[in-house]
Structure 1
Amino acid sequence: MTGSRDRRRSVVVTGAGRGIGEATARMFADAGYLVGAYDLKQCTWAEGDDRVVTGALDVTDPAAWESALGDFATRTGGGIDVLVNNAGTLYGTPFIDASYEQDALLVDVNVKGVLYGCRAAFPFLRKGTRPAVINVCSASAIYGQAEMATYSATKFAVRGITEALDLEWRPHGVHVSSVWPLYVGTEMLAGVETAGMKNLGVTLTEDDVAAEIVAVADKAGRRSSGLVGRLRDALTDSVHRPVGQQATAMYLASQVIPGRILKFTNKRLTS
């Protein structure tokens, strides 16, 4: 009932109307969370499911963020435990074939949407239990992707936002991280065909990404006991979590190989 406090761990997922967002919201609900599922239009898939609170949210509108989070927090006693910034969009063409309007849309949704969500959510996260922000980034934040230049640029921005807020918010107990899939078989890629997609294939599913997001949320703020457990925590407590074998190999390689070799490898894979 509205106004009563729900004792379940809580999560807000944006872009939850379909694709990765819907899969993530469903998986959180199955894991026992109270889920706030938001998209530009009400998420019809969740109608009648008392595990899910739905609403319309334009992530490019700060007032809409504050309203949606405030309404959801009335169910939780004032706090929110997890925010998943998933809403995003892309185009996949040579840069010069796109338009100013397409560039602006990607920046508004993929960058401003994350910034506004983090800013609006912070007061609620501070009241949460083991609070976490999980930003859906991309392996295209490893090195700029041909035919996806603007999308790649927005994901580099998400990478920077994540790293900076992880440093700023850890003292407040808020864990900020990101997940990095490569190409995922969602409707968002329908009609998109780049050289990178042809060469590497579309191997990940929505559930692959959703499972990683839920795992990151469940681990946030937990600490193992004993020396071995603490060492394991230190080794696995990465701000960025690649999803799938391809993204993992690319991410780990980017940490150790020189930039000129990374550029050459990326060119071979994506052109």
Structure 2
Amino acid sequence: MSQNIENKVVVITGASSGLGAETARHLAAQGAKVVLGARRLDRLESLAAELGLDARAILSTDVTDYLQVQALVDRALELHGRIDVLINNAGLMPSSMLDKLKIEEWNRMIDVNIKGVLYGIAAVLPKMKEQKSGQIINVSSVAGHKVGPGGAVYAGTKWAVRAISEGLRQEVKPWNIRTTIVSPGAVDTELTGTITDEDIAKGMAKTYENAIPASSFARVVAFAISQPDEVDVNEILFRPTVQVY
């Protein structure tokens, strides 16, 4: 699996916990040069110490601020001179019924889940075009394929990620850039902790009783990265075996 991963420069947003942190561990173990961004710097520092990373390989990053995302990518370029993979992983899921009118939560999801992805693309695209190589991995969700009560806005953001990614796929062909959408089902992360609607939280807790570990996501990402350069794995949808929806 480490084929085509070793020595690749990989930038990961939302890397302080869950999917991002586990993916950093998995790729670093296979020889990737990871550069990690997240809002919680203390957690990034702990992860960097665990992985033996240079202290400069982490940066406090709020993906709702384009300049912070650009600074993270610039840090990777300063350290390694190139960027091979961007994993747009940062995301929130404060799902709620629309009639609860949790407008601030809607706005936050749009800012993180959609704008954050766009800012990541904007930050890496000029360098990847110059290199004529690279891979952009955007994290969607099973909710990016189907919508349920309480998930309208979250699903809307994840459908948007898929639409943006497909448009990106078609546009970057002249520069040999690969694009991948990863859509996980119930994976064990802190994502459900952002839900403030008590009724939705109870239902989600039941769904997540059978959540699979974050390492499942990390292996999927590694599979997409490890393919030969002429193979572009565009989308992977995966769930726990027992998950119905």
**TM-score, scaled to structure 1:** 0.77
Aligned to 1:25: 24
- Counterpart of 2:48 in structure 1 is 47
Q: CA RMSD in A?
A: 2.4
Matched, 1:243 2:244: no
Contact 1:46 / 1:54 at 8 angstroms: preserved in 2? no
How many Å separate the matches in 2 of 1:220 and 1:240? 16
Q: Which moved more, 1:151-160 or 1:170-179?
A: 170-179
The 3 A distance-change label for structure 1 pair 214 and 153 is same
**CA shift for structure 1 position 72:** 1.5
Once the two structures are superposed, residues 5-40 of structure 1 have per-residue CA deviations (whole angstroms, 9 ceiling, x without a partner) of xx9210000000001110011111111010011101
State whether residues 130 and 220 of structure 1, in contact with CA within 8 Å, keep that contact through their aligned partners in structure 2.
no
Task: Report the alpha carbon displacement of residue 245 of structure 1 after superposing the two structures with TM.
Answer: 5.6
Q: Distance in 2 between matches of 1:191 and 1:10?
A: 30
Tell me the amino acid that sits aligned with residue 59 of structure 2: G
1:82 is aligned to 2:90 = no
CA offsets, 1:32-73, max 9 Å, x none?
A: 010011101321223341368111111111111222211220
User: What SS is found at the alignment partner of 2:36?
Assistant: strand
Alpha-carbon shift at residue 156 of structure 1 (Å): 0.3
Structure possessing the higher radius of gyration over alpha carbons: 1
- The residue identity in structure 1 corresponding to 2:93 is L
Cα distance in 1 for partners of 2:210, 2:23 equals 19
1:221 is matched with 229
* Partner-residue secondary structure (3-state), 1:59: coil
1:198 match: 206
Find the aligned partners of 2:61 and 2:194 in 1 and give their Cα distance. 26
User: What is the CA distance between 1:130 and its match in structure 2?
Assistant: 4.5
Aligned residue type for 2:213: T
**Residues 140-168 of structure 1: CA deviation (Å, up to 9, x unaligned):** 11122221111100000000011000000
Deviation at 1:86, TM superposition (A): 0.2
More contact order relative to length (CA 8 Å, sep ≥ 6): 2
CA distance in 1, matches of 2:48, 2:14: 16
**One of 71, 89, 98 as aligned partner of 1:95:** 98
User: 2:162 matched to 1:159?
Assistant: yes
**Number of equivalenced pairs:** 230
Is the contact between residue 80 and residue 127 of structure 1 (CA under 8 Å) also seen in structure 2? no
**Identical amino acids, percent of aligned pairs:** 27
Say which is worse superposed, 190-199 or 99-108, in terms of deviation: 190-199
Which structure 2 residues correspond to residues 1-271 of structure 1 after superposition, within 5 A? 8-42=7-41, 43-48=44-49, 49-50=52-53, 53-77=57-81, 79-128=82-131, 130-190=133-193, 193=201, 195=203, 198=206, 201-219=209-227, 221-223=229-231, 238-244=233-239
The answer to whether the 8 Å contact 1:137/1:180 transfers is yes
| Matched-pair contact (CA < 8 Å) for 2:84–2:135 | yes
Amino acid at match of 1:243: F
**Which is worse superposed, 168-177 or 10-19?**
168-177
Q: Which amino acid aligns with 2:62?
A: D
**TM-score for both structures, normalised by structure 2:** 0.85
- 1:234 is matched with none
SS in 2 for 1:204: coil
**Is the contact between residue 208 and residue 243 of structure 1 (CA under 8 Å) also seen in structure 2?**
no
In structure 1, the partner of 2:3 is none
Superposed displacement of residue 98, structure 1: 4.4
Q: Which residue type is aligned with residue 227 of structure 2? A: K
Call closer, same or farther: CA 1:40–1:140 in 2, change over 3 Å: same
Point out where structure 2 has 5 or more consecutive residues left out of the alignment. Answer: 1-5, 196-200
Contact 1:131 1:221 in 2 (8 A): no
In the superposition, relative to structure 1, how do residues 37 and 181 fare at CA in structure 2: closer, same or farther (>3 Å)? same
Counterpart contact for 2:212–2:240, Cα < 8 Å: no
